[in-house]
Amino acid sequence: MQDGAVDGDVPTNVERHVAWIERAADDGAALTVFPELSVTGYEPDLIDLHRMRVDPTDPRLDPIRAACRRRWVHALIGAPVGPGGPDGAASSGGPPYIGVLHIAPTGATAVAYCKRNLDTGEIGIFAAGQVAGLLDIDGWRIGLAVGRDAAVPGHAEQLAATGADVYAVGALYRLGSDQRMADQMAAAAARGLWVVLAQYCGGTGGGPACGRSGVWSPGGAELIRLGTSSGLAVVDLADVADAEAGARGH
């Protein structure tokens, strides 16, 4: 999905997540992917100033858990987590990670991944993750990426080598980054991965975002792209894969 955020307002952003999950479920989605730091908005300085953390047991996430249970949907949401994410490297009181929380249809919530490649403005505020993120959802192996991870060719390459089918990217790309963003997604897809990009539109702490979230098929073909406003892109990867296989058969 593609939306803005109210920086620092976790309850309001959680409400927006619930609305998008409901809408995605109505359209038949089994997995919803949200932008980088979607629960807080992308505002590193604000997160640092107020020591904002949103960990798996945070009761503010209860409405999202309830929506995932009610609609039997997986959600990948962005949040500052830790210290002590899946790496276990940070000591108590250390900097947080830019994390991806996986909320399962049962409501179970866990840190699934922590951003490994930090942007310049994130260094000193966040710790860098050290472990690749890979989830098995309904028989699909979902490789996880956040923001600048997608700009590092070895990141998608490593996930493809470990058996990922899908490269799910939560990000913030600013205005003027449309072509660079599309090139990075196509490069990841060229490694044999389905690519799903969820990013911001409009204003957030990191500056105006360019929108244009979408889905790319293995090889780099663009399946669907959103515009510059809030929206939802839903693709049945199994149906597309079957259709492409049928076309090759002919």
Share of the chain above pLDDT 70, in %: 91
Residue 207: what pLDDT?
74
Per residue in 66-90, pLDDT tens?
999 999 999 999 999 987 545 434 3
Beta bridge partners of residue 98, listed in sequence order: 80
User: How many other CB atoms are found less than 10 A from the CB of residue 24?
Assistant: 22
Name the token pair of 112. 């699934």
Residue 239: what pLDDT?
78
CB within 8 A of 85, min separation 6: which ones? 97, 99, 111, 114, 127, 129
The CA distance from 67 to 64, in Å, is 5
Classify residue 3: in a domain, yes or no.
Answer: no
Q: How many CA atoms lie within 13 A of 174 on its CB side?
A: 7
Residue 247: what pLDDT?
52
Strands 194-199 and 166-171 turn out to be parallel
Classify residue 250: in a domain, yes or no.
Answer: no
- The domain containing residue 131 runs over which residues? 10-244
Burial class (CB within 10 angstroms; exposed 0-12, middle 13-18, buried 19+) of 23 = middle
Average pLDDT of the chain, as a whole number? 92
* 184 phi and psi angles, rounded to 5 deg: -65, -40
Band of residue 237 on the pLDDT scale cut at 50, 70, 90? confident
Classify residue 249: in a domain, yes or no.
Answer: no
Residue closest to 79 by CA, chosen among 168, 161, 14 = 14
Per residue in 179-215, pLDDT tens?
999 999 999 999 999 999 999 998 776 779 999 999 9
Classify residue 81: in a domain, yes or no.
Answer: yes
Classify residue 84: in a domain, yes or no.
Answer: yes
Residue 91: what pLDDT?
43
Give the CATH number, domain containing residue 75: 3.60.110.10
3-state secondary structure of 198: strand
Classify residue 5: in a domain, yes or no.
Answer: no
Q: Which has more confidence, 247 or 109?
A: 109
Classify residue 120: in a domain, yes or no.
Answer: yes
Taking the CA atoms of 245, 246, 249 and 250 in sequence, report the sign of the dihedral they define. negative
Please tell me the pTM assigned to this model: 0.93
Classify residue 173: in a domain, yes or no.
Answer: yes
Compute the average pLDDT of residues 171-179: 95
Name the token pair of 139. 């028989």
**Structural domains in the chain (count):** 1
* 25 phi and psi angles, rounded to 5 deg: -65, -40
Band of residue 148 on the pLDDT scale cut at 50, 70, 90? very high
CB within 8 A of 51, min separation 6: which ones? none
The CA distance from 14 to 125, in Å, is 23
Band of residue 50 on the pLDDT scale cut at 50, 70, 90? very high
User: Which amino acid is located at 125 in the chain?
Assistant: I
